[in-house]
Amino acid sequence: MKDVKCECGHVNPHGTVLCEACGKVLDERENKDQLLDMRYEGSARRSQTYNKTIVDKIWNFFSSVKVGVWLIIITLLASILGTILPQKMYINLPPDVYYEQEYGWFGKLYYQLGLHDLYGSWWYLLLISMIGISLVICSLDRVVPLYKALKAQRVTRNEGFLKRQRLFGTNHVIDDQDFDIVKKHLKEKHYHVREENGDLLAEKGRFSRWGPYVNHVGLIIFLFGGMLRFFPGMYVNENLWVKEGETTAVPETGETFYLQNNQFILQHYDKNKDKAFEKAIEQAGEVVKNYQSNVVLYKRVGESLPGEKPKLEKVTDYKVRVNHPLTFDGYSVFQSSFRSELKAMTFMLTNKNTNQTFGEMKINFEDPKEKYDLGNGYSVKILNYFPDFEFDKNGDPSTKSRVPNNPAFIFQMISPENPDGEKSFVAIKQTIEPFGDNTYKMAFKGIETKNVSGFIVRKDSTLWVIILGGILFMIGVIQGAYWNHRRIWVQNKNGQIWIAAHTNKNWYGLKREIEKVIEDTKLNMPDDQLQSEQADKGGV
């Protein structure tokens, strides 16, 4: 494409609106009387210049801020939908049951539309990736020409350029030293002052122009980090239950690390001790103070054959609490939940008529014995044990799992009177005597429980990318928001001194600064042409 040569001699790329060097209007598309559109310095942006091939069309689509804003708004609205009902990760029933049961037809519809997993849906991810593409193309379309234009700018500017700045004023009479005073003031205000042909350009804060691009790069890295999670090995997220006193291999560590749970601790606030919270505790009942698992981390030494007990070497003792995960070798173990499991049950062999007891027996669920001898000719046999009792389809007793959630037994109670024994079926809160009236019963005495700590084992190798993205984003957004790019031109035109000024934002601050700069001189404060323009229209 042909380049455009400005009358000042500078050669601009095709599509340039304002000459990069002197600011002369090259592409008179806009109304001559209006203020200049200073966005991106009127540089030649690809999206504004080419629109022929399919690549151009895609580029132009994604480079548009309007499209970007629409993508943001659509994502925003979609995100709202996902907060109406709990998402699938926060429910504790199968989704096809939960939503209809809890929220009726609306819940059913919500589930059928796939809104229960909105943030993992293909179209939500598509929206996010479109925002990502938009970020890349928008930034590239602008940052390169903007950089070139700002680099090529010369001190002396075209008259038309100066006149059509928002802040502009002319001065007929000035003192000889005024120019020097202004220069001194500008330097005191940390402006970078350049001079050519007796004209002056003072500039500061140009780096704030790069803020948006820096933060966009940060966001892209952040999104990329989020994508990395889908690659195998980058992300581990497993649940791990360890009973008190037991040692279990930490999942996904290749059987290298083992965790021993010594004790699970659950503490509540005590209104007598924690006086400051007395009233609140009375209101709320019990408030949990601490969830803690005292664990020991072991590392396997050497190779072990399958089935052989691995040799373990202690790495560390740790108290895993909420907010205080145990970290090792890139893994983190978080305290996430706990449950109590029945450990043992105690029964007393009792005569139903006299209530006399004949010794007690403790059944340890991890190792139930076949026969418990109570002495004096009394003993009890366990004929059958159902750890997680239920009646199966045929109405026969069976067990759902090996976990003692709802234990039931068939006992044979042997006594001197009944050496053959009496049979009794005992489950929680029910006793069935299959062969009529027994003389003895198994009276329930107590239970012992054992805590099981629930951990989350996580390894997230994408975290560093996410952190880098986050830091870059913050730097960029601060750079762009808390600094302004200000330029003040003081130039000799037709024997007059012209002052024009531009800032990318915070015009109020720029005006205050110019007031200070022209103090002690005869120079007049330039007009805010936007305000007078609005006043003309009958506004303020």
Task: Provide the binding-site residues for another protein, judged by CB under 8 A.
Answer: 37, 39, 65-66, 68-69, 72-73, 75-76, 79-80, 82-84, 86-87, 89-90, 102-104, 119, 237, 269, 274, 276-277, 279-281, 283-284, 287-291, 321-325, 332, 334, 336, 456, 458, 463, 466, 470, 473-474, 477-478, 481-482, 505-508, 511-512, 530-531, 534, 539-540
Q: Report whether 186 contacts 427 (CB < 8 A).
A: no
Nearer to another protein by C-beta: 205 or 325?
325
Closest separation in Å from C-beta 212 to another protein: 9
The DSSP secondary-structure symbol of 388 reads: B
Distance CA 202, CA 362 (A): 91
Q: Report whether 333 contacts 468 (CB < 8 A).
A: no
Nearer to another protein by C-beta: 1 or 276?
276
Closest separation in Å from C-beta 410 to another protein: 35
Closest separation in Å from C-beta 468 to another protein: 13
Closest separation in Å from C-beta 493 to another protein: 28
Nearer to another protein by C-beta: 229 or 362?
229
Nearer to another protein by C-beta: 404 or 476?
476
Nearer to another protein by C-beta: 87 or 398?
87
Closest separation in Å from C-beta 105 to another protein: 11
Cα dihedral 322, 327, 332, 338 in deg (nearest 10): -40
Closest separation in Å from C-beta 506 to another protein: 6
Tokens of residue 32, six digits: 């001559």
Distance CA 375, CA 357 (A): 12
Nearer to another protein by C-beta: 439 or 531?
531
Q: Kindly write down the DSSP assignment for every residue of 79-113, as one continuous string.
A: HHHTTTS--GGG-SS-HHHHHHHHHHHHHHHHHHT
Q: Report whether 434 contacts 413 (CB < 8 A).
A: no
The DSSP secondary-structure symbol of 536 reads: H
Sheet-wide strand order for 486-493: 192-196, 199-204, 486-493, 496-503, 167-171, 527-528
Nearer to another protein by C-beta: 287 or 383?
287
Which residues face 194 on adjacent strands?
A: 201
Distance CA 461, CA 283 (A): 44
Nearer to another protein by C-beta: 231 or 482?
482
Nearer to another protein by C-beta: 380 or 501?
501
Closest separation in Å from C-beta 10 to another protein: 27
Closest separation in Å from C-beta 143 to another protein: 14
Residues in the chain: 540
Q: How far, CA to CA in Å, does 198 sit from each of 155, 156, 157, 496, 497?
A: 10, 9, 12, 12, 11
Distance CA 420, CA 405 (A): 31
Where helices occur in 194-328 by DSSP H, the ranges are 211-228, 278-284
Q: Report whether 484 contacts 205 (CB < 8 A).
A: yes
Where helices occur in 351-405 by DSSP H, the ranges are none
Closest separation in Å from C-beta 331 to another protein: 11
Nearer to another protein by C-beta: 59 or 291?
291
Distance CA 40, CA 30 (A): 16
Closest separation in Å from C-beta 444 to another protein: 28
Distance CA 112, CA 106 (A): 10
